[in-house]
Amino acid sequence: MGKGMAIRPILKWLATARRHPSALLLAVQLAGVVLYPAMEGTPEGRALFGTFGIVVLALALWVVNRSPLVNWVAWALALPSVILSITAAVMERPGLVAVAHVLEGLLYLYTAFGLMTYMLRDHRVSGDELFAAGATFTLLAWAFAFAYSVCQTWYPQSFTGYADAAAPRSWVELLYLSFSTLSGVGLSDIMPVRPQARALVMLEQFAGVMYIALVVSRLIGLATSRALMRRD
């Protein structure tokens, strides 16, 4: 009896996660925003950072599997990126990390596109679609952060900042720049200085504006019209 009572909440949680995979992906990525600063400073933290990234990739694959997209494309991007990341960590090859980040960024963009397709495929707004709106935003932010990481590997000193301006920017700094650019608030103290970096920032600014204009505004409009219909 005691075991049954203990297992029941776990089963209930798993059932909820299966109904709302976008919510789980969003929660894990927001947890990453909080945990990443503690992961960067030590070798143990960097190992945990890699493990955390694999968890996010697995969740992204799960989300793609529930979307209208082709699942094998996501696997073709995820598996090589994991192998390259592990190989780069063992052999200490920064070049392999850059290639892995290219693949991870493409996977995040592909997953974001899948979530947008999922949100726009009908005229009904479900609870999971609202979570998907947040998850898509974080996926886009991560994808461009990976692009910035690759950019500063291939083009050193692509970004500068107030603290140690000539040093490569950390992952948290690049993710902070990505969130600031995508949201349009423009509060980041990390600045692109090379043409390639500025081109990426402009692309993310455009993506942020179009995401708000096309996806979020449509979801708000559908939710509002549905609420008015219920009231009538």
In a domain? residue 170: yes
Task: Identify whether 152 is part of a domain.
Answer: yes
Q: Is residue 1 part of a domain?
A: no
Q: What is the pLDDT of residues 205-224, one digit of tens each?
A: 999 988 888 777 777 776 66
Does 10 fall in a domain? no
Q: Rounded to two decimals, what is the model's pTM?
A: 0.84
Residue 14 lies in a domain: no
Q: Given its phi and psi angles, is residue 192 left (phi above 0), alpha (psi -120 to 50 degrees) or beta?
A: beta
151 in Cβ contact with 195 (< 8 Å): no
* Residue 28: predicted pLDDT: 85
Give tens-digit pLDDT for 105-160. Answer: 998 998 888 888 877 776 776 677 778 888 889 999 999 999 999 999 999 999 99
Can you tell me which residue has the tokens 């969130």? 179
- Residue 226 confidence (pLDDT): 62
Q: pLDDT (tens digit, 9 = 90+) per residue, 55-87?
A: 887 878 777 766 666 778 888 888 888 888 778
Domain count, the chain: 1
Query: Bridge partners of 159?
Result: 192
* Confidence check: pLDDT of 33 > 90: no
Looking at every residue in the chain, the average pLDDT score rounds to 80
Q: Please report whether residue 172 resides in a domain.
A: yes
Please indicate, yes or no, if residue 223 is contained in any of the structural domains: yes
151 inside domain: yes
- Host domain of residue 227: 19-231
Round to whole Å and give the CA distance between 125 and 21.
15
